[in-house]
Structure 1
Amino acid sequence: MRADVLASTVNMSHEEWLAARKNGLGGSDVAVITGFSKYKSPVELYLEKIGEFEPKEAGEAAYFGTLLEDVVAKEFEKRSEMKVRRRNAILRHPDYPWMLANLDRVIVGKQEGFEAKTASAYLSDEWAEDKVPWSYELQCQHYMAVTGYERWWIACLVGGNKFVYKPIERDEEVIQAVIQAERKFWNEHVVKRIPPMIDGSDASSNLLNTLYPKSIPDTYVELPSDAKRLLEDFEYWQTEEKSAGERKDEAANKLKDMLGEHESGWIGERKVIWKSVASNRFDSTKFKKDHPDLYGQYVKESLSRRFSVK
């Protein structure tokens, strides 16, 4: 099987690249569709694909990840004794036109691909031994589905000082699950202009705060009938959350009582810590009273929306 070339990326601007991505689903979209992304919700991806929401600018982690891509690729060549080259094109599956692939690189002389990553030291456990974060596993399986390749190599610079590289073998069961998930998302949501459901993830909350940053004063709307069930769910889980919080606090307080003045305690292989931590806090109330003019110059209004039920 040979992938089709949707567009060459040679001399393609970032804006043109973003526009081309709206023609289908790429490797990094798979984790979003299947619920394995911490950073983006399915409804946000849907809005991007139909052109109603512009993708957010990449943060510093993504910026440096792109900057260090060449470094990771060269180190992979050195350690693996394989050569890689860029594939300057957006590829498309010949049978599923909504499956796109913008590859980092391919292995020279082999039907194999290469993906470069960077990760924080806090995520080192996700790269231990033969492990690869599931979102990246899905991304590489997506690329193998599009290209027909049997293996994908992934290399990662972890914490800026630890380098790992591993092969990911083609898995037909995973690929079929990826194809089914993408087909449903594209045909049932993007094509039909029916958004996926909002969920309780941080990604959905962040999207709503971005879409609706301000409320219009003194306005109201009659909510649909579904709102009654959602309100009942909200109040039920609010009560459960309060009860769970009280039980958690009770357990913590009993453990603190057992520790007394000791900083830590052991129970089997688990360590319990109740440590004194010094912190300096700015007394804004006193500063406002003593220096009202200066306070006015440096105070900055922060706007957010508070949700409540009355």
Structure 2
Amino acid sequence: MSKSTLEMSHQEWLEDRKKGIGGSDVGTILGLNKWKSPYQLWLEKTGQVVIEETENEPAYWGNVLEEVVAKEFQERTGKKVRRRNQVFEHLLHPFLRANIDRDVVGENAILECKTANQFLGKEWEGEEVPLSYLCQVQHYMNVLNKDYCYIAVLIGGQRFIWKRIARDQELIDTITERLVEFWETNVVEGIEPVIDGSEATADFLKEKYADVEENQTALPSRFDELIEQKRELKRTKKEIESAIRQVDNEIISELGKREASIGITQRNIISWKLVSTKRMNTKKLAEKYPDIASDEEIYSITESRRLTEKEIK
């Protein structure tokens, strides 16, 4: 099954995304997206938060260059591709969706067009494909029942590569099982996913509850166990940090004895460079320019919440 997206406004398209799991959701549900967590995606799919999708520069240029990448793929391979302005749905699980970039004419295959900056170029070396993209195209092949997928990538605006990804049914089964579980358990039944320790979840929760009332409430006893777990993790963290410092100190000591700032081993280059940091000395500023230092307009106040805990005696 499929439906056209040609007549959809951007807002209608965003609302329609709540009705199923698309390709960009796959990496998030599998924990491969460092910008968004499964918990945040669950809130979006269940309508508990408003989806505010502002297009950043990389996303903007990714859309602009999609046609360029598709045309270059045709030039280099001799294959023909066609745009499909449709949302496709899985036959057994219609909430599993795919909005592909191109169909490959005459083959049971699709084309995905990507762009990457030069710093991410290593992720595409050899036969490598970023895991999030690999899972995304396997999901697309599952929804559309395709045998393989071509991925064409423009790296750093100056290097073009393309790869052929075969259908991996074992991987598809694993991905699909997790996607179905997320949709049926978390979205349909409304069961909250486990809150993970990702930075995406932390940032989201801090923003969501930034204006919470300054009230006091009683928490269940399991939070005592969580606090003790946190304290134990902090103790372990200190031990690990101390062990790391010991290694650093041994290296610095040896470099110092050899009167060098760079050390070369069989497998590593070790550098102990001088780093210069420039900071404002507010005390000196107040002494030299008291009128400026006392002007409230030059200061900005930033508010944030800090989570602390102490044992009740």
TM superposition score normalised by structure 2 = 0.92
Whole-angstrom CA distance in 2 between matches of 1:122 and 1:12: 35
**Aligned pair partner of 2:138 in 138, 141, 151:** 141
Match of 1:304 in 2: 304
Is the Cα–Cα contact under 8 Å of residues 93 and 145 in structure 1 kept in the other structure?
yes
Matched residues in 2 for 1:284 and 1:70: separation? 53
Q: Measure the CA separation in 1 of the matches of 2:175 and 2:305.
A: 37
CA RMSD of aligned residues (A): 1.6
Query: 1:79-114 CA distances to partner (integer Å, 9 max, x unpaired)?
Result: 122122211011111111110111111112222111
Q: Equivalences for 1:235-250 in 2 at 5 Å? A: 235-250=231-246
Flag structure 1 segments of 5+ consecutive residues without an equivalent.
none
Q: Against the structure 1 CA distance between its residues 24 and 263, is the aligned structure 2 distance closer, same or farther, given a 3 Å change threshold?
A: same
Q: Which residue of 1 aligns with 2:264?
A: 266
Counterpart selection for 1:43 from 28, 39, 45: 39
Q: Which residue of 2 aligns with 1:121?
A: 118
- Which of these residues, 170, 195, 199, is aligned with residue 198 of structure 1? 195
> Is the alpha carbon distance of 1:282 and 1:67 closer, same or farther for their aligned partners in structure 2, counting shifts above 3 Å?
farther
Does residue 1:164 correspond to 2:161, yes or no?
yes
Mapped to 1, the partners of 2:167 and 2:75 lie a distance apart of 24
Question: Is 1:62 aligned to residue 42 of structure 2?
Answer: no
Residue deviations 1:132-173, cap 9 Å, x none?
A: 001001000000111011011111112222211101111110
Take 1:155 and 1:283, find their aligned partners in 2: how far apart are those partners?
A: 51
State the 1:256 CA deviation: 0.8
Higher relative contact order (CA 8 A, sep 6+): 1
Deviations 1:182-217, CA, capped at 9 Å, x for gaps:
110001110011110111111111111221123433
* Corresponding residue number in structure 2 for 1:89: 86
Q: 1:213 matched to which residue of 2?
A: 210
Per-residue CA deviation, residues 235-271 of structure 1 (Å, 9 max, x unaligned), is 1001111121122112112211111141210122111
Measured in 2, the distance between the counterparts of 1:125 and 1:196 equals: 33
Which secondary structure does the structure 1 equivalent of 2:87 belong to? strand
Counterpart-to-counterpart distance in 2, 1:91 and 1:55: 22
Which amino acid in the other structure matches residue 285 of structure 2?
F
The more displaced of 188-197 and 205-214 is 205-214
Q: How does 1:288-303 map to 2 (within 5 A)?
A: 288=286, 290-293=289-292, 295-303=295-303
> Pairwise mapping of residues 23-42 of structure 1 onto structure 2 (< 5 A)?
23-42=19-38
Structure 2 vs 1, CA of residues 275 and 113 (structure 1 numbering), >3 Å: closer, same or farther? Answer: same
**Aligned residues of 1:215 and 1:305 also touching (Cα < 8 A):** no
Query: CA distance change for structure 1 residues 296 and 131 in 2, over 3 Å: closer, same or farther?
Result: same
Residue 291 (structure 1) shift: 4.6
Q: 2:186 aligns with which of 179, 185, 189?
A: 189
Alignment identity in percent?
A: 38
Q: Which residue is equivalent to 1:74?
A: 71
The AA in structure 2 aligned to 1:246 is S
How far apart, CA to CA, are the structure 1 residues paired with 2:291 and 2:218? Answer: 44
Structure 1 counterpart SS, 2:122? helix
Q: CA deviation digits over 1:28-76, x for unaligned, max 9?
A: 1111111111111101110110111233423322222222222221221
56-65 or 252-261, which moves further after superposition? 56-65
* Corresponding residue pairs, total: 305
Q: Which stretches in structure 2 are left out of the alignment for 5+ residues?
A: none
Once superposed, which parts of structure 1, at least 4 consecutive aligned residues long, lie more than 6 Å away?
A: none
Partner of 1:18: 14
Cα distance in 1, alignment partners of residues 95 and 286 from structure 2: 58
Aligned partners of 1:106 and 1:114 also within 8 Å: yes
